[in-house]
């Protein structure tokens, strides 16, 4: 049975924008990873680990997982605490 996690990706820390943080992702977990003896890389014969599916809503992702009989774990996004700042605040302290 396939196991997957459903989540919203984090904001890119290198940029201030919130682009690509509104899509829900289904990402499959690796089964029995093995270590390549020559290069030392981790590899697997499971090709589902290379697959990331994007959905516009959480409900769509859940419906897909149920329809395809995928065991899933939902990782809820944490709410960002937004502090409104003004340029004038730099001079008021």
Q: Residue 45: its pLDDT value, please?
A: 77
Q: What gap in Å lies between CA 43 and CA 93, rounded to an integer?
A: 55
Contact 86, 27 (CB under 8 A): no
> Is pLDDT of 36 > 90?
no
**Per-residue pLDDT band at 1 (split at 50, 70, 90):** low
Q: Residue 24: its pLDDT value, please?
A: 95
- Domain ranges in the chain are 3-12+19-92
Supply the DSSP string of 6-50, one letter for each residue: EE-PPPPTTSS--TT-SSEEEEEPPSS-EE-TTT--EE-S-GGGG
- Sign of dihedral through CA atoms 54, 57, 58, 63? negative
Q: What rounded mean pLDDT belongs to the chain?
A: 86
44-81, pLDDT tens digit by residue?
Answer: 777 888 889 999 999 999 999 999 999 999 999 888 78
pTM exceeds 0.75, yes or no: no
CA 83, chain centre distance (Å): 25
CATH topology of domain 3-12+19-92: Double Stranded RNA Binding Domain (3.30.160)
């Amino acid at each position: 049975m396939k196991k997957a996690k459903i989540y919203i990706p984090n904001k890119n820390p290198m940029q201030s924008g919130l682009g690509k943080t509104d899509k829900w992702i289904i990402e499959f977990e690796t089964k029995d990873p093995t270590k390549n003896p020559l290069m030392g890389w981790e590899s697997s014969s499971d090709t589902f680990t290379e697959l990331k599916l994007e959905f516009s809503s959480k409900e769509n992702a859940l419906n897909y997982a149920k329809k395809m009989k995928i065991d899933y774990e939902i990782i809820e996004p944490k709410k960002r605490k937004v502090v409104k700042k003004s340029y004038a605040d730099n001079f008021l302290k």
